[in-house]
Amino acid sequence: MTGKRILVTGGAGFLGSHLCAHLLRTGCEVVCLDNFSTGCEQNLARLKSDRKFEIVRHDVIDPIRIQADQIYNLACPASPVHYQLNPIATIEANVLGARNMLRLAALTGARVLQASTSEVYGDPQMHPQVESYWGHVNPIGPRSCYDEGKRLAETLMMDYHRQQGVAVRIVRIFNTYGPGMAVDDGRVVSNLILQALRNEPLTLFGAGSQTRSFCYVTDLIEGVWKLMNAEGIDGPVNLGNPHEVTIRELAETIISLCGSRSAIVHRPLPHDDPARRRPDITLAMEQLNWRPAVSLTEGLLKTISYFDNLLSSQPMGEHSLAAQGIPEPLARAD
């Protein structure tokens, strides 16, 4: 990778900052573009001293000219709490952001990788989810700004590829967690770990019988990098850990691994919350020779240790979820 120049949009976020660090380790130059809406400078602190690293403060909804060999397009809030706060901005980041990166790629000859999501399958009627499944998505609900925004970004990728010959890669990322998640992220792993570490009740939305499959961040980043650099794969590829758990099981595991005295409390299930989710990763195994290596227990222990260190280095009050303004789910399911 030495001599290559790589643009990472959303590079100051959870996945983006891990990706920038990985790319710098391979020897390339990295330009991190971010509007710092959910990402932060602190995520980039360890990278700033690297002379091959550059930060550009910019919103992907506005066009920009940057010369790069490859573009990883990650810019978009990923937590339901954040992407539902300003749904129009979420749609614009997905659609105009993808359009702007594709136009840039058409101009410069760069290859573009789009960070898509398991949310393109919606509340899936096929289980586990395979790339050929078209999904079951509500186009007008509170999650639609994200789900449909990502689906349209995929459409744009394929149309720029077919119509203008742009080299594209699409990764459908399933729930990923790990050190570097923000305290105010609002997604389930960080919420539950913070609550367990503080011996506060763990908030289970609904009965907790819904399932997710959690992938550790280093596994995911390795797969994303492999996909970008693989040849002959234009269509979407699932990346995630097929180990499926109910959210209740996740909560109980976290309580046990933290040695916490926390109880479990129930909150309303958010509108359109998918009931089941597990990736079929056959394509990634066959085409990229990729499979996740980190077990849920191992990954959770590392993440717990990260949040534990964070809590002990700062006053407790600053980390209260209520103090971070984390709202209740936006809408109740009927």
Residue 152 structure tokens:
């349209």
Residues that bind ligand UDP (rule: CB under 6 A) add up to a total of 14
- Identify residue 195 by its one-letter amino acid code: Q
CB of 14 to ligand NAD, least distance (A): 4
The Cα–Cα gap between 225 and 236 comes to 14
Residues 259-288 that bind ligand UDP (CB under 6 A): 270, 273
236 binding ligand NAD? (CB under 6 A): no
CB of 66 to ligand UDP, least distance (A): 30
Q: State the residue for tokens 């010369």.
A: 67
For residue 35, what are the CA distances in angstroms to 7, 75, 78, 117, 217? 14, 8, 14, 21, 22
The Cα–Cα gap between 212 and 244 comes to 6
How many CB atoms lie under 10 A from the CB of residue 155?
A: 12
34 binding ligand NAD? (CB under 6 A): yes
**Distance, first Cα to last Cα, the chain:** 51
Residues 96-155 that bind ligand UDP (CB under 6 A): none
Spot the catalytic one: 146, 160, 177, 216: 146
Which of ligand NAD, ligand UDP, none does residue 203 bind to, with CB < 5 to 8 Å depending on kind? Answer: ligand UDP
The reply to whether 177 belongs to the active site is no
Site mask, ligand NAD, residues 94-123, x = CB under 6 A?
A: ---x-----------------x-x------
How many CB atoms lie under 10 A from the CB of residue 114?
A: 26
**Is residue 120 within 8 Å of 150, Cβ to Cβ?**
yes
Q: State the residue for tokens 């391979």.
A: 26
Residues 65-104 that bind ligand UDP (CB under 6 A): 79-80
CB of 268 to ligand UDP, least distance (A): 9
The Cα–Cα gap between 241 and 243 comes to 6
Residues 210-239 that bind ligand UDP (CB under 6 A): 210, 212
Q: Point out which residues bind ligand UDP (CB under 6 A).
A: 79-80, 175, 187-188, 191, 203-205, 210, 212, 247, 270, 273
Q: Point out which residues bind ligand NAD (CB under 6 A).
A: 9-10, 12-16, 34-39, 59-61, 74-78, 93, 97, 115, 117, 173, 175-176
